[in-house]
C-alpha cells in the first residue's frame, strides 16, 4: 500500500527546489512536482507491468550501458559529478534485485571504458576509488551470496590500480563457486580491444600447441575465438539497454551483440526506475527475433 504522506514529502521537496534550494533549477523542480503528483499512478502501472511480465519471453542475458551519471549530477545542480557516480553505483544494486525477481540469469554492465581514462584526472581517481569501495562491499554482500551470484570483471584489469585489482580478485574468489546468476562488470573495457585480445590469445594458443600460421589460418572460422572472449562460456546478450538518450553502442560487446535487441532509454542511469526496466522487457517480448533467417 502506497503511503500518501510520502507523496506529500516529495511534493514539498520539489517545491523547495523551486524556491531555490539545493538545485535551484526551475525545470528540475517542475519535473519533481510532476513526478510526485504522478507517483501513485506509476505504482499502479508498475504493478500491472510486473504482473504482465510473468507471461513475457525474457532475455537470458541483459547488457546495460549505464550512461548519464554526470548529466544527472549536473541536473541536480551538483558541483561535483561524483554525486552522480555514487547514486549510479547504488542504482546497480537496485537493478540487480529486479533481475533476480524476473529470473534473468546473466547481466553485463559497463562501468568504465578505456576511453574514460582520458577524462579529468580527479574524476578518474574518484571513480576508481568508488569502484574499489563497491567491489570490497560485494565480497560479503548478503544479496550476492543469498542469490548465488558469481561476479566476474571483464576488461583490461591490468590498467586498474593494484588495490582495485586485489579487491576484484577477492570478490571473484568469494563468489566463484556460484552458478545461479552471473554479474559481469566491465571496467577498463573496450569492444575493439576485447576482439583484438581474443585474436591474440587464439593465435598464441595455436602456436603454443605446435600449429604453424598457415595451418592456423586454414582452420580459422568465426567460432574459433569465442572461447577467448571475456564472456566465454556465457550466452550472448539477448537485450542491451542504454540509458541517457544516447543512441549508439560505443563498442559494447561488439562481437557478442550481432543478434542482440537494443533498447534506448532517455532516463539517466541514476534515475532509472523499475518501470523503465519493465518497459525494456516488454519491448523485448514484443519483438520477433529471426537471427538473420
User: What's the pLDDT tens digit per position in 269-282?
Assistant: 999 999 999 999 99
Model confidence pLDDT, tens digit, residues 102-136: 999 999 999 999 999 999 999 999 999 999 999 99
Nearest-5° angle of CA 276, CA 153, CA 242? Answer: 25
Say how far apart CA 157 and CA 233 lie, in whole Å.
20
The predicted pLDDT at position 79 comes to: 87
Residue 200, pLDDT above cutoff 80? yes
Helix (H, G, I), strand (E, B) or coil at 104: coil
Arithmetic mean of pLDDT over the chain: 89
At 235, give phi and psi (nearest 5°).
Answer: -65, 150
Say how far apart CA 247 and CA 109 lie, in whole Å.
17
Do residues 268 and 68 touch, judged by C-beta distance below 8 A?
A: yes
Grid cell listed for 153: 570483471
Model confidence pLDDT, tens digit, residues 10-53: 445 444 444 444 444 555 555 565 666 667 778 888 999 999 99
Pick from 19-28, 73-82, 280-289: least confident: 19-28
236: number of Cβ within 10 Å = 18
136: number of Cβ within 10 Å = 17
Percent of the chain with pLDDT over 90: 79
Angle formed by the axes of helices 69-76 and 82-101, to 10°? 120
Of 3, 57, 67, 179, which residue is the catalytic one? 67
Average pLDDT over residues 88-93: 96
Q: Is 116 among the residues known to form the active site?
A: yes
The predicted pLDDT at position 19 comes to: 44
Look at residues 205, 216, 252 and name the one whose alpha carbon lies nearest to residue 231. 252
Do residues 56 and 101 touch, judged by C-beta distance below 8 A?
A: no
Cell 529470473 -> residue: 103
Q: Is 221 among the residues known to form the active site?
A: no
Do residues 112 and 134 touch, judged by C-beta distance below 8 A?
A: no
The predicted pLDDT at position 38 comes to: 61
The predicted pLDDT at position 24 comes to: 41
The predicted pLDDT at position 293 comes to: 77
Average pLDDT over residues 194-220: 93
Residue 61, pLDDT above cutoff 70? yes
Do residues 210 and 227 touch, judged by C-beta distance below 8 A?
A: no
The predicted pLDDT at position 212 comes to: 92
Of 9, 69, 116, 268, which residue is the catalytic one? 116
Amino acid at each position: 500500500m502506497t503511503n500518501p504522506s510520502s507523496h506529500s514529502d516529495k511534493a514539498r521537496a520539489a517545491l523547495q527546489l523551486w524556491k531555490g534550494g539545493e538545485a535551484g533549477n526551475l525545470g528540475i523542480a517542475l519535473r519533481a512536482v510532476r513526478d510526485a503528483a504522478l507517483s501513485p499512478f506509476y505504482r499502479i502501472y508498475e504493478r500491472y507491468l510486473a504482473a504482465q511480465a510473468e507471461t513475457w519471453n525474457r532475455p537470458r542475458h541483459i547488457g546495460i550501458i549505464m550512461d548519464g551519471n554526470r548529466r544527472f549530477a549536473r541536473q541536480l545542480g551538483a558541483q561535483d559529478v561524483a554525486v552522480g557516480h555514487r547514486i549510479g553505483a547504488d542504482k546497480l544494486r537496485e537493478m540487480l534485485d529486479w533481475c533476480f525477481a524476473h529470473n534473468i540469469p546473466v547481466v553485463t554492465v559497463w562501468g568504465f571504458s578505456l576511453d574514460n581514462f582520458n577524462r579529468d584526472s580527479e574524476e578518474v581517481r574518484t571513480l576508481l576509488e568508488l569502484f574499489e569501495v563497491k567491489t570490497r562491499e560485494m565480497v560479503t554482500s548478503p544479496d550476492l551470496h543469498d542469490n548465488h551470484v558469481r561476479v566476474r570483471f571483464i576488461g583490461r584489469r591490468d590498467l586498474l590500480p593494484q588495490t582495485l585489482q586485489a579487491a576484484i580478485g577477492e570478490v571473484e574468489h568469494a563468489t566463484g563457486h556460484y552458478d545461479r546468476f552471473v554479474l559481469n562488470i566491465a571496467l577498463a573495457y573496450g569492444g575493439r580491444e576485447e576482439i583484438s585480445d581474443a585474436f591474440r590469445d587464439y593465435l598464441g594458443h595455436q602456436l603454443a600447441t605446435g600449429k604453424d600460421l598457415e595451418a592456423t589460418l586454414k582452420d580459422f572460422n568465426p567460432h574459433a575465438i569465442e572461447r577467448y572472449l571475456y564472456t566465454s562460456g556465457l550466452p550472448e546478450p539477448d537485450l542491451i539497454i542504454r540509458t541517457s538518450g544516447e543512441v549508439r553502442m560505443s563498442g559494447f560487446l561488439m562481437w557478442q551483440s550481432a543478434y542482440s535487441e537494443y533498447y534506448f532509454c532517455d532516463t539517466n542511469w541514476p534515475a532509472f526506475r523499475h518501470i523503465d526496466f519493465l518497459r525494456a522487457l516488454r519491448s523485448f517480448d514484443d519483438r520477433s527475433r529471426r537471427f538473420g533467417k
